[in-house]
Amino acid sequence: MNSALILGLSGLALTPEERAFFAELQPWGFILFKRNCESKEQVLRLTDELRALSGRSNVPILIDQEGGRVARLRPPVWRLPPPAWTFAEIYERDVETAEEAAALNSRLIAAELREIGVNVSCSPCIDLLHDEGHGIIGDRALGREPHQIVQLARAVAEGLMDGGVLPVIKHIPGHGRAKSDSHEELPVLEAPHEELSRSDFVPFRSLNDMPMAMTAHVVYTAIDDERCATWSSRLIHSVIRGEIGFDGLLMSDDVGMNALTGGFDERTYRALVAGCDVALHCSGDMGEMAEVAKGSRTLEGDAARRAEAALDRIAPPSDFDPEQGAARLAHLISGGTAIV
């Protein structure tokens, strides 16, 4: 049985301590960061070892590869994808071109990830860009209007899935209005529920068929004025599962972020009890992970069903020529038009 956890690791290869810890704990998945990625050959060795250690060929191995500021794979080894806002700007001149470019960029990302054994990309970020919001979203957004974000986000997600990589929509139910960075402190959002429902929640409701979503460490006072979404059973059950209608795998954002307080065991326990299917911990610090493990539990019941359903959606990549794809994407970004 797997633990309801996605864990990071410390470096370019597993340490003996990590190997023993992961073998005993059997986390559901793993997440990679820049510190884990030096070369294609090295990352593939690492992901091969994670698969062997887990005994599962489809063990989820995640990475944040949105593009722009949020890209763990970077030059000179890897292409740096453009930030999401690039496609929002193209959308202003031509919707079909923006959709083709967004899908093509994601297909290229998927090809790069599959080559190194990664099968989940923590993207797209489908938070609305609000001028009053903190810059942590900024050019990671696909637009200011829900309809635009829905169109572009679906293109991003389908591009990833065409390449055999699962997308993770984030940060459900919406981080764009938050005036602080949840990496640093807990954002408290005081907008009325009705206003959130007709704007920020729309992209998530429209993409509620996606396989995976990541919570926001944000307090929505109109729904639960005491607990952030990650820790709020009221918000998870009434809004994320109910109003938004998302029945895919729900993972927490990183329980190591400063928006959350208490020990790592408590942070993990509260996320899982509230209704997250799995808890995410990113730092790769062994002491922290040992505490996270104390707050975890076995992945079972509806959470296991949703986890299995998500992985069932990983399909073999469609035929694709990365060199031609990159040339086509450069043409579209520079002002070319979509194929009609």
Helix crossing, 16-25 with 286-295: angle to 10°? 10
Across 291-319, b (16+ Cβ under 10 Å) vs e yields bbbebbeebeeebbebbeebbeebeeeee
Calpha distance 17→229 (Å, rounded):
33
Could you give the CA distance from residue 204 to residue 171 in angstroms, rounded to a whole number? 9
Q: Which of 183, 209, 312, 321 is catalytic?
A: 183
Q: Counting beta carbons within 10 angstroms of the beta carbon of residue 157, is it exposed (0 to 12), middle (13 to 18) or buried (19 or more)?
A: buried
Which residue bears the tokens 């993409």? 207
The residue assigned the tokens 């996270």 is 292
User: Which one is catalytic: 139, 200, 224, 253?
Assistant: 253
Is residue 253 annotated as a catalytic residue, yes or no? yes
Residue 78, helix vs strand vs coil: coil
| Beta strands 169-172 and 120-121, pairing class | unpaired
The first and second tokens of residue 323, run together, are 């060199």
Question: Hey, what amino acid is at 314?
Answer: I
As a whole number of Å, the CA-based R_g of the chain is: 19
Told to judge if 183 belongs to the known catalytic residues of this protein, a careful annotator would answer: yes
276 within 8 A of 251, measured Cβ to Cβ:
yes
Residues with catalytic annotation? 183, 253
